[in-house]
Structure 1
Amino acid sequence: MPTQSTKRGGGGAEGDFQLEDSPGHLLHRAQQRAADMTAQALRAQNLTPRQFAVLMALSQNEGVTQSELVRRTGVDRSTLADMLARLSKRRLVITRRTEQDQRANAVRITAEGQRTLDEAAPKVVDAERRIVELLPVDQREGFLANLKVLADSRR
């Protein structure tokens, strides 16, 4: 429930807006906290949380196109292209033109990429467990369900 406005003098344009009650601000802060915990878990593999997400999507979807990776991970096209170039230099992924559409790139995780992912995944699972454990037990399932609703870009 929003708190009472605590305007100090002058009456600004903010009206009844309270930063500590802002869904956008709170989601951003929660995401920063989760990203920090996940980044710490991935440090040994020299991966970022988004690189981990890309490798996981590739592991679960053999030969997916870059366009499909954008949809599955939420990483924008230009960032994904740069990320794939870096992962390719590390021999974690391979990118090739598709036979069906020579304008499209199919991306595949390499054996080295899969080994890196396999080493990182338990650490990420542990970090995400610790994130969710910050919530009361009876709110965890609903929280995850609500995040899925908010993250669903088709709504």
Structure 2
Amino acid sequence: MDGIDITTTQYTVLRAASQKDGLSQQDIINATGIDRSTVSQVVQLLTRKGLLKRKRTRHDARAYAISLTEAGRDVLKKSEPIMGRIEQELVAALPATRAKTFVSNLRAIVAAFEPVET
């Protein structure tokens, strides 16, 4: 990550947490597809790094509402161009016609897992 002290998994959790303030760990699991124990470990680590904050929810004393801190927003902002370049390099490794199909298929997969707003 070019001098930024996070892994791609940590970036993915930060990105998910940035979508809505106060997500639960289950929300992050649902958004990312990362397994429960990994999300739990990553959230704890990012909290220790000061990139996320957690507080107990009112409706369930066992659950945490997770939010980005200002430092977390800064790291995410610095990371996004790097992740964009990584994505470009991955797609560039494919022939042009296959790259278009690959990106189209990935978008369809992501859209299939997006929550439906009602």
TM-score of the pair, normalised by structure 1: 0.66
Cα contact 2:2–2:82 (8 A) shared by 1? no
Q: Helix, strand or coil for the counterpart of 1:64? A: coil
1:95 maps onto 2:25 in alignment: no
Q: Helix, strand or coil for the counterpart of 1:69? A: helix
Deviations 1:28-61 (A, max 9, x none): xxxxxxxxxxxxxx14111111100000111122
Unaligned runs of 5+ in 2: 114-118
Structure 2 residue corresponding to 1:135, chosen from 73, 86, 94:
94
1:104 Cα deviation from its structure 2 partner: 1.6
Unaligned runs of 5+ in 1: 1-41
* Higher RCO (CA-CA < 8 Å; seq separation 6+): 2
Count of matched residue positions in the alignment of Structure 1 and Structure 2: 113
Superposed CA RMSD: 2.0
Structure 2 residue corresponding to 1:118, chosen from 41, 53, 77:
77
Moved over 3 A (4+): 147-153
TM-score of the pair, normalised by structure 2: 0.84
% identical aligned pairs: 30
Query: What is the alpha-carbon distance in structure 1 between the residues aligned to residue 15 and residue 108 of structure 2?
Result: 21
1:55 maps onto 2:24 in alignment: no
Structure 1 residues 118 and 136: alpha-carbon distance in aligned structure 2, compared to 1, 3 A threshold: same
Q: Helix, strand or coil for the counterpart of 1:82? A: helix
Query: What is the alpha-carbon distance in structure 1 between the residues aligned to residue 23 and residue 64 of structure 2?
Result: 8
1:116 Cα deviation from its structure 2 partner: 0.6
Query: What is the alpha-carbon distance in structure 1 between the residues aligned to residue 22 and residue 63 of structure 2?
Result: 11
Give the corresponding residue for 2:41.
Answer: 82
Query: What is the alpha-carbon distance in structure 1 between the residues aligned to residue 35 and residue 23 of structure 2?
Result: 16
Query: What is the alpha-carbon distance in structure 2 between the residues aligned to residue 81 and residue 109 of structure 1?
Result: 15
Deviations 1:36-91 (A, max 9, x none): xxxxxx14111111100000111122211100101111121111111111111110
Q: Which is greater in Rg?
A: 1
